[in-house]
Amino acid sequence: MRRLNLPLPLMSQLPKVAVIGVGHLGKWHAEKYAACADCELVAVVDTNAESAGAIAQQHGAETFSDYRDVIPLVDAISLVVPTSLHYKIGREFLEAGIHCLIEKPISESVTEAQTLVNVARDKGLVLQVGHIERFNSVMLGITEHLQQPQFIESTRLAPFTTRATDVSVILDLMIHDIDIILDLVDSPISRISASGISVLSDTIDIANARLEFENHCVANVTASRISRKRERKLRIFQKDAYLSADFQGKILALNRKGETDNAEGFKDITHEELGFEDNDALNLEVLDFINAIKTGNRPLVSGEDGKRALATAIAITTQIQRITMNIPMVDLKGQYETLKTEIDSAILQALGETRFILGPNVQAFDGEAADYLGAPHAISCANGTDALHLALLAAGIEPGDEVITSAFTFIATAEAIRYVGATPVFVDIQPHSFNLDPAWVRDAITDKTRAILPVHLFGQPADMDEIQALADEFDLLIIEDCAQSFGSRYHGKSTGTLGVAAAFSFFPSKNLGCYGDGGMVTTTDAATAERVKMLRNHGSSRQYHHDVIGFNSRLDELQAVILRIKLKHIDAYNGKRLQVARAYNERLAGSRFETPVIPSDRDHVFHQYTLLCEARDAAREAIIAKGVSCAVYYPVPLHRQQAFKDTQQPVLAVTESTAQRCLSLPIFPEMSEQQIETVCEAVLSA
């Protein structure tokens, strides 16, 4: 284990330092830098201008609300912000050539931590992580008496507060002891077992882990943030002795096997309280950081140390999640929590306005969705099935017509064709995209064919150039099923703008989903748009005047409120889904599971992430047994459904093989790296 190397050397130029984030802990960082003779505190940054101003004034520094403004002014920073911001802000400063002391944990993921370490190394910068307990006077005293630990026991308890519940107790408290133990043992971990539960927060509040090392040392680590008392204790057992450390009470004792026998014939145990020099741990941490900057020495707690502690903490968390946390297919609650304030406020405003039927939010959403998609016309309706029905009707599809479509999709696609009296003609799909195979579409065209209805399944656009060529050659309409593809693009154009009309669904689990049912028709044709508007509203173009028999299929005003808010985030949501899909593909590569292709000529938005595998049902059961949700979309193709027994029963080899082998994994924008790892481990072990 490394030992602290102070005092500082004298150098002519003082490093200029800023503290980013001056909340509970950051204000103390500012105080230590201000009192340090070997650096100059020049800036304090916080989004709370009042807090930042008060602390800056106290220490003679400048105040900033945007951290970017201090990049040209400083040589080093302390980053004391929520963990979710560590990577983004830390990387910006490191890439700008600025030394960083980042509070623990170093970041949210090992990948992020490694990137920070790499940038610091490549630029010759100090990256230190704020595991402050390493600077505790008790810890420094332990180093003088440490031999070869054989068993370590740590306990860290604290009363509950809301301050750090953005992370689990493992990343909040236990990681201190993880870092200490990894430094004391200095041997690779061979096995981890752990358990824990959430009690008061949405993350783990109490946890216990057993770490087994390759050198045969074992550590038992307990952390709780729901205790009535504070406690930070560590016991280190080594040959013929053990050290007992109380970080809270600043007590260090050495217990040894004595020389004389007691009455029972065993050696006496001697107890000696060890003296050590008390210190200010945070002050030593800051001095070590400045010393590393000025000398080029490695700090006591380096970025590599922080990454190692984080990796172990994540491994412990993953173990607990396997036992306690079911990973859902989609986490609507998690998404709502991030938008709660905005959604609740907007809903209350709409309730107060009491314009519930085709109100201002419905009208605004129609316009905003049209602008986003690049569609000349967008008309909302009650649900995605109605959107398909209205699109077909408005496009003039009639009884006796044939509409070519996929059998590997949700039943609504073919239901809507039946609603208008037409006949669905099912053709086979491509094996890798699961979308209509244009070659089979050509073979299915007859003199009764009026339209092709491609489904952009799971969020991947179909081969629209080939389908459009067929439509042009045979004078057919294209009506798109975009229920799963909001935001996807084909050669730069949004799905929903590639035919005469298209249907979208806003079912809650969709990429753009409301909190009930909702749908939309888009069209490039003004007459079709007017007809959809009439049909959705009882065939009426003006109140109480009805031109045709229509339907009651209007989007609810409150659902429009929600969709308007979510629409602003759809690109970010789809981008995060793509990141999850790429992470799955990377981790599952080379396994018995065939992963989906991510095409380069179109934007796949991964409404579903669907694998292919043999013995699918057994794999599904094994994955679910690990606490990971998975689903089969779709187990019975439409041409094999009882509802379509009176239609032609073609042999669709790829469709039927896919239906027997497909398996969809959880995918949603809020997925954490820990959840992705847990899913992949469950899949690979199935």
Q: What is the pLDDT of residues 71-115, one digit of tens each?
A: 999 999 999 999 889 999 999 999 999 999 999 999 988 889 999
What secondary structure letter does DSSP report for 455? B
Peptide bond into 7 cis (omega under 30): yes
Dihedral sign for Cα atoms in the order 32, 34, 40, 46: positive
Average pLDDT of the residues of the chain: 92
pLDDT score at 324: 62
pLDDT per position as a tens digit, 214-254 = 999 999 999 999 998 899 999 999 988 889 989 888 888 88
**Can you tell me the mean pLDDT for 272-278?**
73
- Arithmetic mean of pLDDT, 2-27: 73
263 pLDDT tier (thresholds 50, 70, 90): low
CA distances to 415, 503, 621 from 395, rounded to whole Å, are: 16, 12, 44
| β-sheet bridge partners, residue 257 | 269
DSSP 524: S
Per-residue model confidence (pLDDT) at position 8: 41
Q: Do β-strands 16-20 and 76-79 pair in parallel, antiparallel, or remain unpaired?
A: parallel
pLDDT(10) > 50: no
Place of tokens 């179109």: 602
* Cβ atoms within 10 Å of 616's Cβ, excluding its own: 20
Quote the percentage of the chain above a pLDDT of 90.
78
What would the pLDDT profile of 542-591 be if each residue is shown by its tens digit? 889 999 999 999 999 999 999 999 999 999 999 999 999 999 999 999 99
Both tokens of 167, joined, read 């992370």
Task: Tell me the residue type at 268.
Answer: D
pLDDT confidence bin for 416, thresholds 50/70/90: very high
pTM, two decimal places:
0.61
Give pLDDT, residue 262: 66
Confidence at 7, pLDDT banded by 50, 70, 90: very low
**Which of the listed ranges 316-325, 326-335, 529-538 does the model predict with the highest average pLDDT?**
529-538
Candidate from 52-66, 252-266, 573-587, 657-671 with smallest mean pLDDT: 252-266
Distance between CA atoms of 444 and 430, rounded to whole angstroms?
A: 15
Higher pLDDT, 323 or 410: 410
434-471: b (≥16 Cβ within 10 Å) or e: bbbbbebbbebbeeebbbbbbbbbbbbbbbbeebbebb
pLDDT, position 471:
98
